[in-house]
């Protein structure tokens, strides 16, 4: 199974503006790594690069020992990578079941049924709404559906860009609880970008703080960041630095 991600010295830019300045990280098989950092730090850009939607200027990406740097986005999906884009969307006029099928468009009917039934084991709340139009779901259910849509192929590696954005604290807990279940039940390796830092660090095995396109801080004991004040210092210090520039 190909599911340990390693990236090394990734540089990326939009036209002339460099946004990632030599980012290296690894997410070990079966782990959740939380990626946090202020707005504009380059978190979404990094996920775009890993998913294959933005070509890096420099640097390499590996899945286990396979160099996937030159792989197109669809080839990375074929390698078991799933990408939940920031602001994940559903098709409001399709039913929940049809939305889930959209994630499986190219598979045979039996494989579709299997994919959908496994994802419903985790997102069991969606079972009762299978024939409802997605546009009629509550915000929390809609976001769970958007996440379920990228999981129907049972990926080895999930890249999730702020899956809980806009949800109430209770629903944030619930959605991140699902991500935790996904990791512990399926063993899915997960790189999780989150603004809900405390909740993300609570389920993560490792964490990285990205500031100005660079890894500013890294830990394999994310819970420490919750208690030692390092995080507050980093966010305050660096954002003020950035403002002063
Ligand atoms: N498509 C784009 N074109 C040009 N600049 C972009 C684009 N997307 C993001 N940026 C810029 O790149 C920087 C990093 O953005 P982003 O990766 O979205 O950060 P984050 O997800 O950490 O908030 C920001 O300055 C942002 O304005
Ligand atoms: Mg972002």
Query: pLDDT per residue over 180-238, tens digit each?
Result: 999 999 999 999 999 999 999 999 999 999 999 999 999 999 988 888 777 777 666 55
Q: What confidence category does residue 113 fall into, taking pLDDT thresholds of 50, 70 and 90?
A: confident
Q: Distances in Å between the alpha carbon of 31 and those of 149, 192, 204?
A: 21, 10, 7
CA of 18 to the centre of ligand 1 (A): 10
**What's the whole-number mean pLDDT along residues 60-76?**
95
Q: Which residue has the higher pLDDT, 244 or 86?
A: 86
The answer to the question of residue 135 being in a domain is no
Q: Which atom of ligand 1 is nearest to the CA of 41?
A: 22
What's the CATH number where 190 sits? Answer: 3.40.50.300
The answer to the question of residue 19 being in a domain is yes
The answer to the question of residue 35 being in a domain is yes
How many structural domains comprise the chain?
Answer: 1
The answer to the question of residue 97 being in a domain is no
Q: In this predicted structure, what is the pLDDT of residue 1? A: 58
The answer to the question of residue 210 being in a domain is yes
* Torsion over CA: 89, 150, 173, 223 (sign): negative
CA of 39 to the centre of ligand 1 (A): 9
pTM of the full predicted structure? 0.92
pLDDT tens for each residue of 1-53: 557 999 999 999 999 899 999 999 999 999 999 999 999 999 999 999 999 99
58, β-bridge pairs:
11
Domain that holds residue 195: 5-89+149-244
The answer to the question of residue 172 being in a domain is yes
The answer to the question of residue 142 being in a domain is no
CA of 198 to the centre of ligand 1 (A): 24
Any idea what the Cα angle at residue 178 is, between residues 27 and 213, rounded to 5°? 40
The answer to the question of residue 28 being in a domain is yes
Q: In this predicted structure, what is the pLDDT of residue 222? A: 94
Q: What confidence category does residue 89 fall into, taking pLDDT thresholds of 50, 70 and 90?
A: confident
Q: Atom 10 in ligand 1: which residue has the minimum CA distance?
A: 14
């Amino acid at each position: 199974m190909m599911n340990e991600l390693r990236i090394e010295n990734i540089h990326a830019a939009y036209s002339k503006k460099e946004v990632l300045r030599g980012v290296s990280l690894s997410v070990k098989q079966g782990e959740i790594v939380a990626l946090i950092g202020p707005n504009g730090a380059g978190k979404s850009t990094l996920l775009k690069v890993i998913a294959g939607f933005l070509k890096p200027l420099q640097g390499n990406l590996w899945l286990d020992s396979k160099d996937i740097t030159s792989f197109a986005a669809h080839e990375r999906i074929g390698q078991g990578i799933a990408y939940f884009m920031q602001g994940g969307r559903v098709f409001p006029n399709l039913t929940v079941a049809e939305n889930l099928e959209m994630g499986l468009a190219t598979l045979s009917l039996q494989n579709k049924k299997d994919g959908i039934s496994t994802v419903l084991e985790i997102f069991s709340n969606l079972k009762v709404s299978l024939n409802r139009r997605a546009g009629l779901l509550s915000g929390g259910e809609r976001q769970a559906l958007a996440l379920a849509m990228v999981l129907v192929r049972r990926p080895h590696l999930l890249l999730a860009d702020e899956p809980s954005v806009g949800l109430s604290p209770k629903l944030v807990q619930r959605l991140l609880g699902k991500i935790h279940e996904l990791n512990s039940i399926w063993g899915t390796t997960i790189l999780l970008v989150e603004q809900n830092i405390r909740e993300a660090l609570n389920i993560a095995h490792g964490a990285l703080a990205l500031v100005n396109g660079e890894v500013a801080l890294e830990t394999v004991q994310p819970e420490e960041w919750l208690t030692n004040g390092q995080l507050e210092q980093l966010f305050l210090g660096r954002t003020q630095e950035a403002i002063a520039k």
